[in-house]
Structure 1
Amino acid sequence: MAGRVLLSPLPLIAVLLLHIGLARAATTNPGVESLTRITLPLTEIRTPPINYPRVYAVNVTLGTPGQPRTLVVDVNSQMTWTHSYKTPAFPAVKNKINPPFYTANSSSVKFTGCKTDECSAAHYISTSLAPEEFCLADDCGYNVTLQIDDNDVMQYTAGVLGSDVLGIGGNKMVSSGPLGFSFVTEGRFANLTTDGVLGLAMVNTSTLSSLVKLYNIPKTISICIDGAAGGVLSLGQLPVALEGETLKYMALVDTTDVLVGFDMYAVNVSGAAVTGFAKTKPLNYVGVLNTAVDMTFVPLEMYSGLLTLLKESASVPTFDVQVPGMNITCYNAPSCDVTYLPTATIDLANVTLTATPQDYTFSIPTENGQCVVCFNILPWGFDNAMMIGANFLKKTWMIIDAEKKRVAFTNSKPCK
């Protein structure tokens, strides 16, 4: 295997304030008001100066009193983390939507001690935290790295583990832990304009698992990304929009052998194509589902085939543009209109995911009134795995049943 993946790629920009709705039911746990579902509007965030990459985020609060946090929704991140500092001596990250989380201003923050059972358990469950347990002073330390291949580390963040009160709407609060308080960031993590990541992976360290345990809601993620219009994230019972809908589920596949022990939400990929051209040869890839960013990463062989077809449809020479952590293929065009490009598709067991030219490209206007058009289908350092990004999930409800390890897709209902 050519590389290892420890977190989905997340480069970003500014976001609108979001309202979080909670559907309430009768109390089932003493002292805790039960919910049937938690519904959070999504906002598309574009990164300046070229308005790309595009990512999808929600607003929450953290701490007592609550400090606003804008977090990218990442269904395969094993932990929720935020840019933080413990004392003014820590260098504060800049250019974020909100100031870094100041732990000293929260009366409810707790840090996980080093060499404790909680620290060992967190590192055992969530292999993204570090290869093994380590200490930062008296606290349980962690690092999270995204590595595309053996030589290319794209981003890195490190800090200490703890817990605090996570506000998910109105007066509704949940105690979140383990939570990552990141004090050091490098690579594209350092350039994020959002405040961190909302981790919804199936492991016990994720916020999804904490919510399921606290409120006894189904371990189900329903998400519909609607591009510039934002979209919807719903946790727990199916959203109202899908009630009564007949869903065709397919099994999630085991990724532990492919992605270094990670149990991620993934499906089998059998083919890929662009309209008007022959399909690439039949495939047998594991496709990791990634809601965080408008990029799809594919094996080199598949990338070469798709890129050849896209180059043929554009009928112009291409060139590579270096951005932090990766090369993106682009070409010069007389305008930013890309409707002449074909539709791209990825075939799964019982559904075909579709990306329009507007979904799998982004455009950079030039001073002479022309345009640089770039593809956001990128190579990944794995021979038999790919990461299906938000650009192939637009205007489609994706329902992940983590308990039964299955997933369904439907575009019969709007993203609301």
Structure 2
Amino acid sequence: MGTQKLYFFWIFCLIFICSVFVQSKQSNYTNNPVIFELIAKDMRRGSTQRLPFHHNVSLTVSLLVGTPRQPVTMVLDTGSELSWLHCKKSPDVNSLFDPVHSTSYNPVPCTSPVCSTRTRDLTIPVSCDPRKLCHAMVGYADMSTMEGTLAMDNFVMGGLSVPGVVFGCMDSGSSSSGDDSGTTGLLGMNRGSLSFVTQMNYPKFSYCISGQDSSGVLLFGDANVPWLKELSYTPLVQMSSPYPLPYFDRVAYSLHFEGIKVGTKLLNLPQSILQPDHTGAGQTMVDSGTQFTFLLGPAYTALKNEFLAQTKGTLRDLGEPNFVFQGAMDLCFRIPLSQTSYPPLPTVTLLFQGAEMSVSTERLLYRVPGEVRGPDGVHCFTFGNSELLGAEAYIIGHHHQQNMWMEFDLQNSRVGLAEVRCDLASKKLVLGL
């Protein structure tokens, strides 16, 4: 939900707990892990590949799509429903999905029931392109958009081929920074009817993001590993209103936000500002497609002031009131380029119903690429003001999910959290421990 483009990204190690029977797009899975290669790629400005996206770092997975199989790289996004791929307009364009050369590719006509599925990712009423195909368009907070048509094709994951997965075949779009070519697409993982995890009929999935070596694992099904300590579960918010609310996303992973601690001090925040109001504004969403965490104005201001108070004399203020990183992060500091580690900082703990997420040390500050002030680099507080983005929600980004085992239990409508060394978890899962 930020405003800057991708400079580099991580490619995840995927582990699918599979052995599948597919019938009418319903699947049953048993423990049979399939392990994908772990890769890290540099996506700095000037690279030939870019994501039409607004995150400095994105979590990506590698799949195969079509017949014959074409490799694709997709952003893992728990904040989106519709998966989509960049589709070729011309045979001269490389590294994008080419539907013309897939014999299993089927565009979705406007008359298909799929085209009338209720989702925020499709225009309402349904629109058709000149070929009478179902038009699809998605938009993001940085004003970038992608357009194309709905389609179905085989998605292949480590030898498992699943036919008829619905996705957007996007062939046009716009971006706030002008970088539209790029990695192949996005994997929508929320609870909507067209999301990838819903179409695959998985009861749960988990991921673990390392803060050490840009590695991670994504796992579908039950973990069932002895070294994973007991998870703390927090229930998903269920709105009682039967009517759509203008600011509430019913298919997001929305949590009960109960408070914030800085060090040992609990901020004096009224519960009314931490919970959705009658319009749905103020929900708290877990979003792997956003890098940092953004809080509504009153909560952000209270956190900012307390963090400043507890780091006075420890951190040197940037001293530039008009400097705002990613359009929403205005608390920044000067730290000597020669300094290899941060001084002791107070832990920021986000409190949810039945669970908590602690953010400490290197996850509290982020060095802004390319910003240097004499002998110092610019480092910004990794919480921002969501109201500066025009978002009426609390958004928990993946930077603060590092070294947390994150389980999304769709069957029981809850999210499980446990602190884990994710670099070690990745190695253990690869070795089958």
Query: Is residue 331–residue 373 contact of structure 1 (8 Å, CA) maintained in 2?
Result: yes
SS in 2 for 1:36: coil
- Following the alignment from structure 1 to structure 2, what is the Cα–Cα distance between the partners of residues 197 and 31? 20
Query: 1:231 aligned to 2:216?
Result: yes
* Equivalent pair of 1:8/1:76 in contact (CA under 8 Å): no
Deviation at 1:242, TM superposition (A): 5.8
Residue 62 of structure 2 is matched in structure 1 by 59
SS of the equivalent of 1:392 reads helix
Identify if the C-alpha distance between structure 1 residues 342 and 86 changes in structure 2 by more than 3 Å, giving closer, same or farther.
Answer: same
What displacement does 1:352 show?
A: 1.9
Amino acid at match of 2:380: C
Q: Is there any run of 5+ residues in structure 1 with no aligned partner, and where?
A: 1-6, 93-97, 148-152, 213-217
Extract unaligned runs of 5+ from structure 2.
Answer: 47-54, 276-282, 427-433
**Paired position in structure 2 for 1:70:** 73
CA spacing shift, 1:99–1:323, aligned 2, 3 Å: farther
Q: Residue 146 of structure 1: which of 96, 115, 140 is its match?
A: 140
Q: Please show how residues 370-385 of structure 1 align to structure 2 within 5 Å.
A: 370-381=376-387, 385=393
| Distance of 1:108 and 1:306 partners within structure 2 | 52
Q: How big is each residue's C-alpha offset from its partner over 1:13-43, in whole Å with a ceiling of 9 and x where there is no partner? A: 4557666444445868699995326666676
TM-score relative to the length of structure 1: 0.80
Percentage of pairs with the same residue: 20
Question: Structure 1 residues 26 and 174, CA, compared in 2 at 3 Å: closer, same or farther?
Answer: closer
8 A contact 1:219–1:401 mirrored in 2: yes
Aligned twin of 2:167: 179
C-alpha separation in 2, matches of 1:54 and 1:208: 22
1:293 corresponds in structure 2 to 290
Shift of residue 278, structure 1, vs aligned partner: 5.4
Superposition RMSD in Å: 3.6
Mapping of residues 108-123 of structure 1, within 5 Å:
108-121=104-117
**Deviation for aligned residue 1:161:** 0.7
**Could you say which residue in structure 1 is the equivalent of 2:401?**
393
Partner of 1:328: 329
- AA matched with 2:170: S
Shift in CA distance, 384/182, structure 1 to aligned 2, threshold 3 Å? closer
From the two aligned structures, give the one with the greater strand fraction.
Answer: 1
Q: Is the 8 A contact 2:12 2:218 kept in 1?
A: no
Change (3 A) 1:308 1:281: same
Q: Tell me, in whole angstroms, the C-alpha distance in 2 between the residues paired with 1:233 and 1:398.
A: 10
CA shift at 1:131, angstroms?
3.4
1:349 paired to 2:353: yes
Distance 2:8 2:61 in 1: 11
CA offsets 1:44-65 (integer angstroms, 9 cap, x no match): 7675359x72221111111222
Are the equivalent residues in 1 in contact too, given 2:11–2:60 (CA < 8 A)? Answer: no
Q: 1:272 to 1:188 in 2, by over 3 A?
A: farther
How do 1:23-102 residues align onto structure 2 when only pairs under 5 Å count? 23-25=17-19, 35-36=29-30, 48=44, 53-88=56-91, 99-102=95-98
- Give the corresponding residue for 2:155: 166
1:309 corresponds in structure 2 to 306
- Report the alpha carbon displacement of residue 69 of structure 1 after superposing the two structures with TM: 1.3
Contact 2:347 2:360 in 1 (8 A): yes
Query: Which shows bigger deviation, 227-236 or 258-267?
Result: 258-267
Letter in 2 for 1:131: I
The answer to whether the 8 Å contact 1:40/1:58 transfers is: no
SS in 1 for 2:329: strand
Distance in 2 between residues matched to 1:200 and 1:127, nearest whole Å: 14
**Number of residue-to-residue matches in the alignment:** 387
Deviation at 1:195, TM superposition (A): 2.2
